[in-house]
Structure 1
Amino acid sequence: MRTLYFDCFSGISGDMVIGALIDAGADPVQMEEELKKLNMDEEYNLSWGKVVKNGITSTKFDVILTSKSDQTHEHSHSHEHEHSHGHSHSHGHEQSLGHEHHHSHVPHSHHGSRTYKQIVEAINEANFNESVANMSLAIFKKIGEAEGHIHGLPLEKVHFHEVGAVDSIIDIIGAAILIDQLGIESVQSSAIPTGSGHIHIDHGIYPVPAPATLEILKGVPIASNDIRSELATPTGAAITAVLARNFGSLPPMTVESIGYGAGTKTFENHPNVLRVIIGETQ
């Protein structure tokens, strides 16, 4: 069985998943074409390229929002501005951030956030193949239910920046497209390190893991470490929580390809990358 294993020794985020899958040999150009079915391609540009994180060559994937995605950005050269929903984007160069959630400083136009319902409609109308649509819908439902639970809202009423943001939509559906493209039949994962400390989000200063992330990871083994940073984002947590059949050490497999996806932050003592291992299991 063709198996994908997420080796999350430095956590997991949506952009790290896509970077790692591209690094393992998936075709980002085909993904970019498929994503056009959402009719949102005026709102973003995608970039990917090699970076070295603490000695490991890895692929950094970025969603760069255009001025059309958020009317509050008057400059298209926004690479110095962190526009982050759930994880931060470095726009092609390395930056070290104190925390990942700091998207409360920009008032959002109606493009900047979408409701859970709008996202479901967009996926259903996009005419993806069944596998991509089902994976994407299940991941969004996981995040939507977690956010609804935290904020005391039913799923249909969930309207928030983390899921609605263009970059989260691209990360989740893009990951589903690449997993489908690679012919993955089974997903497994290591335990998920969440990090520790605090983050600043729209509602104020929150503990790490953020409440939505922790809610998403119910039933998933969490690994403890003393890194004072948010290692698992809601998007990354939901991808593994939904797709992985089991969590533990690397299963017996014949390894075919390996990929490293770079995170934005750089840590002193370990490479901030997600490793994916793809191969045949019994």
Structure 2
Amino acid sequence: MSVLFLDTFAGISGDMFLGMLIDLGVPLEVITAGLEKLPVTGYRLRQERTERQHIGACKIVVEHAEQHHHRTWRQIDAMLADCPLNPAVIGLARRIFRRIGEAEAKIHDRPLEEVHFHEVGAVDSIVDIVGAAIGLHHLSPARVICAPLPLTRGTVDCAHGSFPLPAPATLEILRGLPTVGDAATVELVTPTGAAIAAEIARFGDLPAMTLDRVGYGSGDRQLSDRPNLLRGLLGVADDPWEGETDRVATLECHLDDANPEWLGALMERLLKAGALDVGFAPLQMKKNRPGVRLTVVAEPHSAAMLARHILRESTAGGVRCLESRRFKLRRDIRSVNTPLGEVLVKLFYDGQCLVRLSPEFESCRDLADRSGRSLPEIYRLAERSAEDLFPVKG
């Protein structure tokens, strides 16, 4: 299984990512041929060799006359939806722009459809994002893993004025994802770079793999304490499992004298306290007593706390705990627009392959209540609306 690891010791931006892909072997002609299918003109894309602290790298330059073209998210999404590029490429580019648009909508407290892109709506950013989608599709790693992204302090100048670092859009995009503090006072992670990483990768350490190629994409600055580069490591993973893994703790006990009302309340308490799953199963126990097996799946660091809940709020005198490896599909939750309103869908990925999507129950139930339509109808609308944006491959 091929794996691309993003070594983000100096952060990530759109042009750094694109330069890294080309340095890994994606022909520039593949990128430019795909970009020519966009209704965007007046620019020229070229690559040049450069050095950052004596390390050779690929620098991508977008030459254009346009300075700040303010396009809306709706305009860019419609432009991409009508583009005759590969559907997988278009789907990825649309998801990256949507992720940025959702962050801007949250920051500026306005609907997604009203979001105006400034820097991200300019030609160079469109080229970076769509070019990244084209290049990644050509490279086709089965899995992309990204190191935690470095967040810095200071300020950055943009169309809205001077903003604190990390940029508000970057922080919103990276909510829920691993980051590390960095002593630098310049922007290392741009919103575009954050959105690309968040959309294509899971975050973690360098996996065990046989290394094949290393590529370097250069940023614009010369940093004083490190080379301003994004490093990509492409290789073959030793683990045949292509999905994600983690560690979970399974808590279990048998109860033959529990009040069913207490058990219902205990399930709610355990889930609220952070349990990943809680289940009851019937048992036939000693002395011919009917009983219940309580099983709780949790993150290992929560096991002791949840065991204490079980011991204090049930009739259990002891709780067994087993820590094990869990194989799982990567999950993402995204919003889609239906004719009746917005709903959330859960996306399940095997590596980079979307194998299943499922409307989110609570979101669909809320829309059914608001619209007066049936829940099955809302589910069907959500599934149809998600098909174009998130094509299932498995």
TM-score (ref. length: structure 1):
0.82
Which residue of the other structure, out of 233, 237, 247, is the alignment partner of 2:203? 247
Please state whether the residue corresponding to 2:10 is helix, strand or coil.
coil
Match of 2:179 in 1: 222
Q: Does 1:180 align with 2:137?
A: yes
Structure-2 separation of matches of 1:276 and 1:18: 11
Structure-2 separation of matches of 1:117 and 1:184: 30
Please state whether the residue corresponding to 2:4 is helix, strand or coil.
strand
Match of 2:27 in 1: 27
Please state whether the residue corresponding to 1:37 is helix, strand or coil.
coil
> Does the Cα contact within 8 Å between 1:116 and 1:163 map onto a contact in 2?
no
Match of 1:136 in 2: 93
Match of 2:121 in 1: 164
> Does the Cα contact within 8 Å between 1:120 and 1:137 map onto a contact in 2?
yes
Q: Any residues of structure 2 matched to 1:14-53 within 5 Å, and which?
A: 14-40=14-40, 42-53=41-52
Aligned Cα root-mean-square deviation (Å) = 1.2
The one-character-per-residue Cα deviations of 1:8-31 (angstroms, maximum 9, x if unpaired) are 000000000000111111111111
Structure-2 separation of matches of 1:247 and 1:129: 27
> Which has the larger displacement, 246-255 or 9-18?
246-255
Match of 2:149 in 1: 192
How far did residue 163 of structure 1 move? 2.4
The one-character-per-residue Cα deviations of 1:68-96 (angstroms, maximum 9, x if unpaired) are xx3xxxxxxxxxxxx5xxxxxxxxxxxxx
> Does the Cα contact within 8 Å between 1:189 and 1:240 map onto a contact in 2?
yes
> Does the Cα contact within 8 Å between 2:119 and 2:158 map onto a contact in 1?
no
The one-character-per-residue Cα deviations of 1:180-215 (angstroms, maximum 9, x if unpaired) are 001222111000012221112222221100100100
Structure 1 residue ranges without an equivalent (≥5): 71-82, 84-107
Please state whether the residue corresponding to 1:38 is helix, strand or coil.
coil
> Does the Cα contact within 8 Å between 1:144 and 1:163 map onto a contact in 2?
no
Please state whether the residue corresponding to 2:19 is helix, strand or coil.
helix
Match of 1:105 in 2: none
The one-character-per-residue Cα deviations of 1:213-244 (angstroms, maximum 9, x if unpaired) are 10001111111110010000000000001111
Match of 2:60 in 1: 61
Q: Any residues of structure 2 matched to 1:35-114 within 5 Å, and which?
A: 35-40=35-40, 42-66=41-65, 70=66, 108=68, 112-114=69-71
Structure-1 separation of matches of 2:206 and 2:121: 33
> Does the Cα contact within 8 Å between 2:118 and 2:159 map onto a contact in 1?
no
Structure 2 residue ranges without an equivalent (≥5): 240-394
Q: Which amino acid aligns with 2:64?
A: L
How far did residue 160 of structure 1 move? 2.1
Q: Which amino acid aligns with 1:62?
A: V
The one-character-per-residue Cα deviations of 1:96-143 (angstroms, maximum 9, x if unpaired) are xxxxxxxxxxxx5xxx12111111111111111121111111111100
Structure-2 separation of matches of 1:44 and 1:113: 17
> Does the Cα contact within 8 Å between 1:5 and 1:250 map onto a contact in 2?
yes
Structure-2 separation of matches of 1:43 and 1:3: 36
- Give the share of equivalent positions with the same residue, in percent: 44
> Which has the larger displacement, 193-202 or 14-23?
193-202
Q: Counting strand residues as a fraction of each chain, which structure ranks higher?
A: 2
TM-score (ref. length: structure 2):
0.59
- Tell me the matched-pair count: 238
